[in-house]
Structures are given as C-alpha cells and as structure tokens.
Amino acid sequence: MSTEAKEYKAKQLKIKSKYSTRVYNRCAITGRKRGYIRLFGLSRVKFREMANAGLLPGVRKASW
C-alpha cells in the first residue's frame, strides 16, 4: 500500500496522531489498529467474519 493511500485512510478515520509523519494501519470498517491484515485492509476480527460469510473472493478456510 502506498504512502498516499495510508494517509488517505488516516484522514478518513479522523485520527490525530502524536507525530505528524506517522500513519497508522487501521481497519477500514471498525478502525481497530491491532490485528491488522495489510493485504485486505481489515482487522483479523472483520476479516474472519467476512471470510466465513463468503464476502472476500479467493479466501477459503484452510484444512489439512
């Protein structure tokens, strides 16, 4: 993800960071900053919910 995209997400969530150059990765839906999955831009909680509901194309539950 580019720096511009990170800045855009941070502005969307209206987060005031301690430092002006720091951009936090946050879930696009909930705004959660812990357990962030960069490839999807979601927290692990929302990723699991959406994957189980079949809303994320190409994601399937692992079984071995």
Per-residue pLDDT of 2-38, as tens digits, reads 667 766 766 666 556 666 677 778 888 888 889 999 9
φ, ψ dihedrals at 16, nearest 5°: -95, 110
| Number of structural domains the chain divides into | 1
Q: Could you give the C-alpha distances from 11 to 1, 33, 53, 59, in angstroms and in order?
A: 15, 14, 29, 29
- Residue 24: which CATH number? 1.10.287.1480
Mean pLDDT within 32-56: 91
The confidence score (pLDDT) of residue 50 equals: 92
User: Is 59 part of any domain?
Assistant: no
User: Is 63 part of any domain?
Assistant: no
User: Is 26 part of any domain?
Assistant: yes
User: Is 41 part of any domain?
Assistant: yes
Is the full-model pTM beyond 0.75? no
**Residue that wins the pLDDT comparison between 12 and 47:** 47
User: Is 22 part of any domain?
Assistant: yes
User: Is 57 part of any domain?
Assistant: no
What is the full DSSP assignment across the chain?
--HHHHHHHHHHTT---SSTT------TTT---SSEETTTTEEHHHHHHHHHTT-STT------
Query: What is the extent of the structural domain holding 43?
Result: 3-52
